[in-house]
Amino acid sequence: MTLAAYFSPVVHRLVPYVPGEQPKIAKLVKLNTNENPYPPSPQVVSAITRAAHQGLQLYPDPESSALRQAIAAHHGLTAQQVFLGNGSDEVLAHAFFAFFQHACPLLMPDISYSFYQVYCTLYGIEVHTVPLTDELRLRVTDYARTAAQAVAGVVIANPNAPTGIGLPLADIETLLQLHPSRVVLVDEAYVDFGGQSAIALIERYPNLLVVHTLSKSRSLAGLRIGYACGQSHLIDALQRVKNSFNCYPLDRLAMVGGVAAFADVAYFEQTRQAVMSSREGLTLALEDLGFTVLPSQANFLLARHPLWDAAVLAADLRSRGVLVRHFMLPRIEQYLRISVGTPAQCDHLVQALAELLAQR
Ligand code: PMP
């Protein structure tokens, strides 16, 4: 008997997601996992510090009511239209379980957040990938199906990852109208950096679920808070799944930290504007170096150089203390995904690239 015989059969089939490197080396310019280059609001840190002295021996509120309320107020929804999870990865996992397990394929772009495929393998969901256009854009009419072609639902990221390209709300509405009897999940992890949120459509579409995270625009990747917004019947389904898995996905510190993050509107505005402005500057600097840069509405850029192999460039940058992400995936293997850093981090990257390119 091999030791793997202890595993449930599905474990052999899993192809786990591989997150970007979190190196222990100090002083790296870390532009590989789309974190926010700025720390969270000081109000978040004080709220967490206070909460650490108050009641950690007690379980947290299983409904995370205070944070649900804060998020609902921010988006003009009711608390019954908000579902919380331990990072949006967990929210996505519950949503795939709750909505996409039908005996027909789930539609998603061929290039998108690669965790979607991982959940499908975990839950035995069949996938049909729809190719992006040659310009790596999503064309919503490609998601139309005949009555005989049943689908389990649609999942997209908007802005898409790792392209950064955003879709207008009219296109989201087309997707919702193409598949009225299935859930259309719109993952808006990066929407605060200039995208258009589909939350405005929730009232009109019972099949729309929008997923957000506090990891990016609110600088809280380390706290693990994600949420979904949708009409209350979808949120009820997610609650059923969550309460069949873990009643307390958000701890007490995350809960108060999340509330404080939504309260500090000025800090949120200031940091997201800073990231967007660095993105524009970095795009121009990369173009000056000969890169082709996709138009991004996110906190990262997908860029390629006509003369340089992307894997070689990523390795050379690493040896100069700059981490970027390279995906060995069809169609994008010649691109680098570069998270937008502070102005100093962006300058460091551009300087390192200029030196490398000068060596040719
Ligand atoms: N969706 C997309 C498109 C992402 O890029 C990420 C970050 N890797 C997530 C969701 C998950 O973010 P988190 O679990 O930190 O909320």
In the structure, what pLDDT confidence band is assigned to residue 24 with cuts at 50, 70 and 90? confident
Q: If you average pLDDT over residues 2-12, what whole number do you get?
A: 91
Query: Residues in the chain, how many?
Result: 360
| Ligand 1 pocket test target in 18, 89, 339 with most atoms within 8 Å of CB | 89
Distance of CA 229 to the CA centre of its chain: 15
Report the predicted TM-score, pTM, of the whole model to 2 decimal places: 0.97
Using one digit for the tens of pLDDT, what is the confidence trace for 184-221? 999 999 999 999 999 999 999 999 999 999 999 999 99
166, 113, 199, 144: CA torsion to nearest 10: 80
Q: Is 148 helix (H, G, I), strand (E, B) or coil?
A: coil
Look at 260 and 13; give whichever has higher pLDDT. Answer: 260
Cα 26 to averaged position of ligand 1 atoms, centre (Å): 24
Q: Cα separation of 285 and 273, whole Å?
A: 18
In the structure, what pLDDT confidence band is assigned to residue 21 with cuts at 50, 70 and 90? confident
Distance of CA 10 to the CA centre of its chain: 26
Q: Cα separation of 326 and 338, whole Å?
A: 9
Q: Is 229 helix (H, G, I), strand (E, B) or coil?
A: strand
Using one digit for the tens of pLDDT, what is the confidence trace for 81-124? 999 999 999 999 999 999 999 999 999 999 999 999 999 999 99
Q: Cα separation of 315 and 9, whole Å?
A: 37
For the four alpha carbons of 31, 330, 162 and 208, in that order, the dihedral sign comes to negative
List domains and CATH numbers for the chain.
21-39+266-357 (3.90.1150.10), 42-263 (3.40.640.10)
Q: Quick one: pLDDT at residue 4?
A: 87
CB 86 within 8 Å of CB 247: no
Atom of ligand 1 nearest to the CA of 160: 3
Q: Which residues, judged by CB distance below 6 Å to any ligand atom, belong to the binding site of ligand 1?
A: 34, 87-89, 113, 157, 161, 187, 189, 213, 215, 221, 226
For residue 294, pLDDT over 80 is answered with: yes
Q: Quick one: pLDDT at residue 147?
A: 86
Q: If you average pLDDT over residues 325-353, what whole number do you get?
A: 97
> Residue with the nearest Cα to atom 6 of ligand 1?
189
Atom of ligand 1 nearest to the CA of 161: 3
Q: If you average pLDDT over residues 125-136, what whole number do you get?
A: 98
Q: Cα separation of 92 and 115, whole Å?
A: 9
- Which pair of structure tokens corresponds to residue 357? 């390119």
